[in-house]
Amino acid sequence: MSRRNKAKKRIIHSDPIYNSKLINMLTVRILKDGKKNLAQRIIYQALDIIKEKTNNDPMQILEKAIRNATPLVEVKARRVGGSTYQVPIEVRAYRGTNLALRWITKFAILRSGKSMPVKLANEIIDASNELGNTIRKKDETHRMAEANKAFAHYRY
């Protein structure tokens, strides 16, 4: 990270079909080797699968999944006097959303199954029902922060 000045925040554009910034952020997480079209196709197929399975609006289910997976606190390593402490800090909204999306895609990739759209759809449905590895990761993050609450005074 540059010491001179802060990095400028890029403007996130909406996706063409659902007109949602969340889907565009998810596209970036799934993106591999610059194949944006393939990443978008995977997401749209996953949303179609969600619509078939739940008979609800897939955008609402995606938003609910991200809301359920977003952590409120996390731990950050901080060196004080030669020893490293895990200091709990609150997560900003944008970072929380990014973490949730990253975890959803990571655990969708690790899931067993044939195609990525099916795995992604199942992970999103599980997260919206507060099940699955994504929610487990969020709970683990919260537990770590709770366990290290004694070091909160080292916050910066």
What is the reported pLDDT for 80?
85
DSSP for 30-55, please give it.
H--TT-HHHHHHHHHHHHHHHHHHH-
Domain boundaries, the chain: 21-154
What is the reported pLDDT for 114?
87
What is the reported pLDDT for 1?
58
What is the reported pLDDT for 3?
80
pTM confidence score: 0.90
Contact 23, 61 (CB under 8 A): no
Contact 17, 44 (CB under 8 A): yes
Spans in the chain with pLDDT lower than 70: 1-2
Q: Tokens 């969708």, residue?
A: 108
What is the reported pLDDT for 91?
94
Structural tokens at position 126 = 């599980």
Q: Quick one: 79 exposed, middle or buried, by C-beta within 10 A (0-12, 13-18, 19+)? A: exposed
21-154: CATH topology: Ribosomal Protein S7 (1.10.455)
Calculate the CA 66 to chain-centre distance. 7
Contact 28, 98 (CB under 8 A): no
